[in-house]
Structure 1
Amino acid sequence: MNNHIPVMLQEVMATLRPRSGATYLDATFGGGGYAAAILAAADCTLWAIDRDPDAIARGATLAARYPGRLHLVHARFGDMLDSLAARGVTQLDGVVMDLGVSSFQLDEAERGFSFRADGPLDMRMGRDGPSAAQLVNTLPEAELARIIAEFGEERHARRVARAILRARAEAPIETTARLAEIVRRAVPRDPSGIDGATRSFQALRIAVNDELGEVERGLAAAMHLLAPGGRLVVVAFHSLEDRIVKRAMAEATGRAGGASRHDPAALLSRTASDFALLTPRALRPGGAETDANPRSRSARLRALERLAPSSPQVHA
């Protein structure tokens, strides 16, 4: 785990600014890279959540290195309010959320997240609920097409869904290699070089894990938990998640509504906010990082800070 370097680590740390005596949450523990950096940067307390029991087990080594400072919680980050409240934590000085799939999950063929190596068609982050195999073998064609179009942004979703139904009529689809081949045959070759199975695999993974719902619940909970001066730092990896993060932070900071910035009335209607946006535009990884880690190319970092309550006005 010591060798795990998370995406945009320098930018995350510069934005989070850990300080001694404070309490933080790594809402997506994964390989423990952010957690290790936070614990090394300041004499603080860190809570870390992950829905994957393997990630929690891997964290034992790091917890032993920082006795009494790192507390691991096996839970979904969308449930962080209840999970932390049960442990007496009701306020945080900072939260970091990395919404990407863990490298450990992608690299373990038996988890079924990737078509790069053949494995059982699973994709469950928490090992509970229906697997990807159950979805592709039982859902009606229209629902499969909807999932692939909505969560994978796949233009040929109907063709993919039809191909899946034809294939499963012959034999259940149980491996990543078979599903990938079915999808590739159903879609035209992408001129950008992206594997034809990429979007459909993303869609199924999002559906299996309710990832977008988790993001919405997690963002709302994290903002609720932030103490004055507390910061929320989020790294997203695809447009669906990034849009949710961007919208949630815009709403929290009074920037939402979609009205034109050239409309004075729209500007006047903005209400005072408890939060300030720290990233008017999303931060991107540098060239050196994307060269070293191609998975980082699509990363977007957005952050906000809870403002200290304004002093009450004194009337004469």
Structure 2
Amino acid sequence: MSDTDTATSAPIHIPVLLAEVLDALAVRAGGVYVDGTFGAGGYSRAILEAADCQVVGIDRDPAAIQRAAPLLARFPGRLRIIEGRFGDMAELLAANGIGPVDGVALDIGVSSPQIDDPSRGFSFRFDGPLDMRMSLSGPTAADVVNEYAEADIATILWRLGEERMSRRVARAIVAARATARIETTAQLADIIRSVVPRSKKDGIDPATRSFQGLRLHVNDELGELDRGLAGAERVLAPGGRLAVVSFHSLEDRRVKDFLRQRSGSEGAPSRHMPAAHAGPAPSLRLLGRGGVTPGEPELRHNPRARSARLRAAERTTAPAWPIGEAA
């Protein structure tokens, strides 16, 4: 199979767990599907090719919106692109007269085009400005490391990056910025590597966890995920499908907990809950348990997929839970 779109001569991005996502969505002719994290358009393209349906792509990254031009030309009248956050999908769809929909796909985290563009500052593999903003607006990662208090930096790296040496890293950052402002990914990565030894167990770069923590903070990615899951629950028609691909434990735990709550699959009620309170009726039905991970053939072609996990559910006829409601 060619990796090039013959109509545009542009490389085709093949997203993680593509076949499994399409299977979970049960794409059908006449359906309306939301690709809440449009990115390079991989899921949107595959959904549009799978059936004579319509897709609404949402992305907060202006560069992703620009990349949609070839797909818009290829699927006239079937693809619609909205610039915005997928956490706001219910409001975005309502404002555009769309809904309810038959499926929502979410690919959580940073996209390949974002990682591979040095000017975006997401990766320490290239030297570039310390930016990390998906929407190109708001405070940058450089603003965080140069202006936040040492204790606040340490908290971000610990909670969002799961960096065990977060206090040591934060101390090194504050010491370095006293001499000169930290402006590039290479500067920050070198500071982190100077105080965090390379792990002999997993071999990952010492800067990996700290960069993850900063990126999640700059883009409020976990808050966005929470809002996006609740938004998907609101926009899905009965029988509609939700498919979520996540790449690390912080994201996957949130997805798993949300789906278990909304499906009534959490087991025995909490001992702190009054016995008479049954809670809202399940708004989702789990499609499988434990999540789906990539097989060896996919991992051979795409090592980035190694940590990916897909979880899926089907919308029931029960009303969406009130915002903030927990099981």
Q: Confirm or deny a common fold (TM above 0.5).
A: yes
Q: Distance in 2 between matches of 1:13 and 1:114?
A: 29
The structural deviation recorded for 1:256 is 2.7
- Deviation track 1:73-102 (CA, whole Å, cap 9, x = no partner) reads 000111111111110013110000000311
State the match for 2:294 in structure 1: 285
Unaligned 5+ runs, structure 1: 261-265, 311-316
Q: Distance in 2 between matches of 1:257 and 1:41?
A: 37
- Deviation track 1:31-89 (CA, whole Å, cap 9, x = no partner) reads 10100000011111110000001001000110111101100000011111111111001
Provide the secondary structure at the position in 2 that maps to 1:248: helix
The structural deviation recorded for 1:307 is 2.3
The structural deviation recorded for 1:188 is 2.1
Provide the secondary structure at the position in 1 that maps to 2:245: strand
Provide the secondary structure at the position in 2 that maps to 1:224: helix
Provide the secondary structure at the position in 2 that maps to 1:13: helix
User: Retained in 2: the 8 A contact 1:121–1:133?
Assistant: yes
1:296 pairs, out of 296, 305, 314, with: 305
Aligned counterparts, 1:203-282, within 5 A: 203-256=213-266, 272-282=281-291
State the match for 1:37 in structure 2: 46
User: Retained in 2: the 8 A contact 1:16–1:233?
Assistant: yes
State the match for 2:147 in structure 1: 138
The structural deviation recorded for 1:248 is 0.5
1:94 is aligned to 2:103: yes
Distance 1:258 1:298, change over 3 A: farther
State the match for 2:6 in structure 1: none
1:202 is aligned to 2:212: yes
Distance 1:308 1:289, change over 3 A: same
The structural deviation recorded for 1:231 is 0.2
Q: Distance in 1 between matches of 2:238 and 2:80?
A: 23
TM superposition score normalised by structure 2:
0.90
The structural deviation recorded for 1:229 is 0.7
Amino acid at match of 1:249: L
Superposition CA RMSD, Å: 1.9
User: Retained in 2: the 8 A contact 1:77–1:218?
Assistant: yes
Q: Distance in 2 between matches of 1:205 and 1:237?
A: 14
1:113 pairs, out of 122, 141, 151, with: 122
Q: Distance in 2 between matches of 1:135 and 1:240?
A: 21
The structural deviation recorded for 1:138 is 0.1
The structural deviation recorded for 1:257 is 6.2
Amino acid at match of 2:258: A
State the match for 2:12 in structure 1: 3
Give the % identical residues: 57
Distance 1:212 1:309, change over 3 A: closer
User: Retained in 2: the 8 A contact 1:255–1:270?
Assistant: no
User: Retained in 1: the 8 A contact 2:16–2:305?
Assistant: yes
The structural deviation recorded for 1:186 is 1.2
Equivalenced residues, count: 305
State the match for 1:48 in structure 2: 57
Amino acid at match of 1:34: Y
Unaligned 5+ runs, structure 2: 1-9, 320-327
Q: Distance in 2 between matches of 1:276 and 1:29?
A: 25
User: Retained in 1: the 8 A contact 2:109–2:221?
Assistant: no
Q: Distance in 1 between matches of 2:317 and 2:11?
A: 36
State the match for 2:28 in structure 1: 19
Q: Distance in 1 between matches of 2:71 and 2:120?
A: 23
Provide the secondary structure at the position in 2 that maps to 1:15: helix
Q: Distance in 2 between matches of 1:176 and 1:59?
A: 28
1:184 is aligned to 2:180: no
The structural deviation recorded for 1:189 is 1.9
The structural deviation recorded for 1:254 is 0.7
Distance 1:127 1:215, change over 3 A: same
Amino acid at match of 1:104: P
Distance 1:221 1:203, change over 3 A: same
